Amino acid sequence: MKKALNSTLFVALGLFVCWGMSDVRPFVQTAAAQQASDQERVAKHKQTILSRIKREKVEYRGDGSGLRVKSEWVDKVMSEYHYQKHLLIAEVSVSEKYAFRSTWVFKDMKVTFQEIFNLGPEDDDKLFPLSYASGLLDYVPAYSWTGLTFLGKNSEVKGPFKRRIAIGAALYPLYQNNEGKERLAIGIARDAYTLKWKDIKSRVVDDVSEEEVIERLKLLRDKITLEESEQYR
């Protein structure tokens, strides 16, 4: 009797597990299909933006170890990227009742320096200016600066990246100088701070993920004023 009861319970348990798995499997398949659909949608949007960016022939300034891409050219390309990105959000939203958030239209999209600026291998050893005029520095996530040492106009070492801070509504990188003090990686000239192109071309400029949005909001809550930023100059 006991043996028969145990067998019955075993069969019942097996049926229960199978029923549970049959209920879960469609959910897992649906979630996987949705993820694949999101990735395809975002990849399409990303390609649309990149294909629309107008890039004039790259121009340079300086010579020798100070040969660098013109900051004016960088600003034009970055402004084009910003414009095309927001134009596409408007296009996607135009037939809807509500405007879409960028974190849905470009869910988890990551765009590198190379994808935006499209420089050739001949530019690997040239300097790339960290121009602040077009909002480039505000875009770049902290992890893209990590491990990099900022340079000056002539490749002179300024110092390693330390952290980001918010000044007003924008984010900027801080580096540590040879005296151990934190300084803003921005100067009067838009090309006062640079990096070797080969060191940054594969790094992310734009990260449209919930994690990055949350990180930005944390920094913006602790923003400082332009006057308070003088301590870092």
Confidence check: pLDDT of 29 > 70: no
Whether the model pTM is above 0.75: yes
Confidence check: pLDDT of 15 > 50: no
96: its two tokens: 């809807």
Give the strand order in the sheet containing 68-69: 60-61, 68-69, 127-129, 194-196, 149-151, 157-167, 170-176, 182-184
Model confidence over 82-122: pLDDT tens digits?
Answer: 999 999 988 887 766 555 567 677 888 999 999 999 999 99
Q: What HEC string does 94-162 produce?
A: CCCCCCCCHHHHCCCEEEEHHHHHCCCHHHCCCEEECCCCCCHHHHCCHHHHCCCEEECCCCCEEEEEE
149 vs 96: which has the higher pLDDT: 149
Most confident of 43-47, 85-89, 160-164: 160-164
- Please state which of the ranges 27-41, 67-81, 212-226 shows the lowest mean pLDDT: 27-41
